[in-house]
Structure 1
Amino acid sequence: MDPHKFHGKDIPHIKLDPKMNIEDLVEVFANSGFNGRQLGEAAKLYAKMIEEDATICLTISGAMTPVGFGGIIKTLIERGFVDWIVTTGANVYHEDHFALGLPVKQGSFDVDDMKLYENEIVRIRDVYIKFEETLEAEDQTIQKMFADDFQDKSFTTAEFCNLLGKRSKKIAKHPEKSFITTAYDYDVPVYISTMKDSSLALNLAVHRLEDKKFDLDFVREIIEQAAIVYDSKKSGILELGGGVPKNTAQQTGPLLDQILRRNDGGQEYIIQITDARPDTGGLSGATLQEGKSWGKIQDSHEGIITVYADATIAFPILALYVLSNQKERKPKRLYKKIDQLYDKLSKDYFNNPKGG
């Protein structure tokens, strides 16, 4: 429809009822305007991605696990609503605190950080983490886990997270409180977009000083990510924030088309939840429409929705909406298929390197 004509749904005089459920609330959002409408439509688009059996990537930037949202991610994995993940290393590192039973508490943002430092309390906005009881304990665990693995051979961050999930399941006090262990159980690949920019990599430093080498094959993993998209009948992303995880998932399109000449076309669907502005030119705030010029999305007019909101507010609404009205999907178990998907893309490329 021509958006310059006076047509569309009537905006109702909205009434709230104490008996309303999450589906009713999403309808309220969808029938309103501004970012409320975007949020409602984003929830429905997520449901559509699930209904059409799209291969769904969840990207996670910002401190989502320290506020406990790893539990939401875990549930989405269990229901088959997330097939692969791109996240920051910090979200993986802090998620393991819950599995190990290490203390993470609500604190305050209006505080004297000099005094917090004296009391050995680390702050993420209004979340408190104890230096010795939590960070030191986590560091020792990570160091022991990877003292004898990945030396002198290449590895991907998906392999790193898979091993972390496997070992946390064995040694953690509460392995059920980690989406990393659940990703291991359901063969969901978890890629860390910036491994060196996290405490996970910092804890490998003690082993490197002992001349143990770690060869992260970052090129292989970007090919793996593209191979997942290449093999998908339909592909979509749910982006929590922006940053490197956002671009890591979206750059699969340019790799397939611009570099490998596969004429894939990019993602069918993307939902972006961000508070970043587009006018500064940063990737976090870049509009999804702009991504079409790079071949990151199939269509700049449909299948894409940006919600300008705090992800800690919008994400639980989207998640609860699909958990309430979508049937559980059979897990795609992409981690076990990665080599097969990689080989398929490689074979197609060498058989037809110029595309067409």
Structure 2
Amino acid sequence: MDHHNFHGKNIPHIELKPNMKIEDVVEVFAQSGYNGRQLGEAAKLYAKMIDDGATICLTIAGAMTPVGFGGIFKTLIERGFVDWIITTGANVYHEDHFAHKLPVKQGHFDVDDMVLYEKGIVRIRDVYIDFEKTMKAEDKIMQNMFKEKFIDKSFTSAELCNFIGKITKEKAKNPEKSFLASAYKYDVPVYISTIGDSSIAMNLAVHRLRGKEYNFDFVKELLEQAAILYNSKKSGILELGGGVPKNTAQQTGPTLDQILDREDGGQDYIIQITDARPDTGGLSGATLQEGKSWGKVQDAHEDVVTVYADATIAFPILALYAISTQKKRKPKRIFKDLDKFYKKLQSDYLNNKK
């Protein structure tokens, strides 16, 4: 699309009214400029992804569940607006606190961490987690959970998270406060992109020292993720932050095209909410347009939106807009189809190589 002309929409003199709904607020953003406009356009693109029946991946960087956002993820899963997830291990580990009624509290960012350490308080910015009542209690839950599970057999992080969701749903005090439990119920695969960089893996260490081995099959996991894209008519990503979850979802295109010699072209839609700069060369700030050069996205100009904002501010607005304007979708139940998707990709690849 050629933007080198004076044919754009008129910017209105915006008025705010007491009875405005989230749809009206998003329209205000979309009619304005800068990152407000980008947020408005991102919200509308997410609605389009849902309406088009796209297979939607949610990527979650950092630690978003300690601020309660697991409840938003849960709602999107239950409405069929998220079909698979790639996250950090922190989001899985800390989400489990809520399901087991382990305390997580608002604290403060301007503190002396030497004092907090002496008092047994762990800090994530302005969120406080009790070392004994929460962290150690969660560690015991995790260690008991995996004491006899996933030993001496290969597994993916999707299988591991599905098991966590199952146990949480069946045994936690508040299973309704777990997006993992909902992911299990609706067969939404949840992948941990860097499982070794998390308390989940740390809690496997006690069993490893007792001679029990855990064989994480990261190559199968990578192929499963590519197979989800391969078996989807339309596919999109909603990225909260950047990091490894972002690239893990986006590399599905290059896995198919660069490695498996296909010409699929990558994702149809990508929304990125990030506060990272693109000029440092880091992945978190890499533009979606740059991703086109790798074959991560179909089009560098259409159906890609980057919002430069704190995800804790922008994401609830985008999510509420979708919840308010879009009808529930039938769950795709991808977890149950992973083996079928994998075998389809495998068969086509081997047949093409003959």
For this structure pair, what is the TM-score category when the shorter chain's length is used for normalisation? over 0.9
2:294 — aligned with what?
294
Alignment of 1:129-144 (within 5 A): 129-144=129-144
Indicate yes or no: 2:316 matched with 1:307: no
2:262 — aligned with what?
262
Measure, in 2, the Cα distance between the counterparts of 1:7 and 1:115: 59
Measure, in 2, the Cα distance between the counterparts of 1:7 and 1:315: 30
2:248 — aligned with what?
248
Which AA in structure 1 matches 2:176? E
Measure, in 2, the Cα distance between the counterparts of 1:173 and 1:353: 52
Indicate yes or no: 2:81 matched with 1:81: yes
CA apart distance, 1:193? 0.2
Measure, in 1, the Cα distance between the counterparts of 2:198 and 2:324: 35
CA apart distance, 1:170? 1.5
2:121 — aligned with what?
121
Alignment of 1:1-356 (within 5 A): 1-353=1-353
Secondary structure of the corresponding residue to residue 6 of structure 1 = coil
Secondary structure of the corresponding residue to residue 340 of structure 2 = helix
Secondary structure of the corresponding residue to residue 280 of structure 1 = coil
Which AA in structure 1 matches 2:48? K
8 Å CA contact 1:153, 1:215 repeated in 2 = yes
8 Å CA contact 1:261, 1:353 repeated in 2 = no
- Matched-pair identity in %: 76
User: What CA RMSD, in Å, does the superposition of the two structures yield over aligned residues?
Assistant: 0.6
Measure, in 2, the Cα distance between the counterparts of 1:276 and 1:123: 22
Which AA in structure 1 matches 2:135? L
CA apart distance, 1:149? 0.7
Measure, in 2, the Cα distance between the counterparts of 1:63 and 1:160: 19
Measure, in 1, the Cα distance between the counterparts of 2:152 and 2:109: 44
Which AA in structure 1 matches 2:269? Y
Secondary structure of the corresponding residue to residue 56 of structure 1 = strand
Secondary structure of the corresponding residue to residue 233 of structure 1 = coil
CA apart distance, 1:3? 1.0
* TM-score normalized with structure 1 length: 0.99
Comparing 1-10 with 340-349, greater Cα deviation is found at 1-10
Secondary structure of the corresponding residue to residue 279 of structure 1 = coil
Which AA in structure 2 matches 1:302? E
8 Å CA contact 1:103, 1:134 repeated in 2 = yes
CA apart distance, 1:263? 1.0
Measure, in 2, the Cα distance between the counterparts of 1:186 and 1:203: 27
Measure, in 2, the Cα distance between the counterparts of 1:335 and 1:63: 24
CA apart distance, 1:353? 2.6
Measure, in 2, the Cα distance between the counterparts of 1:201 and 1:16: 49
CA apart distance, 1:2? 2.3
Measure, in 2, the Cα distance between the counterparts of 1:262 and 1:179: 34
CA apart distance, 1:228? 0.3
* Gap regions ≥5 residues in structure 1: none
Measure, in 2, the Cα distance between the counterparts of 1:6 and 1:159: 53
8 Å CA contact 1:260, 1:353 repeated in 2 = no
Which AA in structure 1 matches 2:177? K
Measure, in 2, the Cα distance between the counterparts of 1:109 and 1:127: 8
Question: 1:138-182 CA distances to partner (integer Å, 9 max, x unpaired)?
Answer: 000000000001111000000000000001112111000000000
Measure, in 1, the Cα distance between the counterparts of 2:211 and 2:353: 40
8 Å CA contact 1:22, 1:321 repeated in 2 = yes
CA apart distance, 1:6? 1.0
CA apart distance, 1:7? 1.3
Secondary structure of the corresponding residue to residue 123 of structure 2 = strand
Measure, in 1, the Cα distance between the counterparts of 2:349 and 2:260: 7
Measure, in 1, the Cα distance between the counterparts of 2:222 and 2:241: 20
Measure, in 1, the Cα distance between the counterparts of 2:25 and 2:169: 37
Secondary structure of the corresponding residue to residue 295 of structure 1 = coil
- Runs of at least 4 residues off by over 4 Å: none
8 Å CA contact 1:120, 1:132 repeated in 2 = yes
Measure, in 2, the Cα distance between the counterparts of 1:96 and 1:197: 17
Measure, in 2, the Cα distance between the counterparts of 1:344 and 1:183: 24
Which AA in structure 2 matches 1:117? Y
8 Å CA contact 1:64, 1:70 repeated in 2 = yes
Measure, in 1, the Cα distance between the counterparts of 2:4 and 2:75: 42
Measure, in 2, the Cα distance between the counterparts of 1:169 and 1:213: 26
Measure, in 1, the Cα distance between the counterparts of 2:333 and 2:4: 45
Measure, in 1, the Cα distance between the counterparts of 2:92 and 2:338: 21
Measure, in 1, the Cα distance between the counterparts of 2:202 and 2:210: 14
CA apart distance, 1:304? 0.2
CA apart distance, 1:62? 1.4
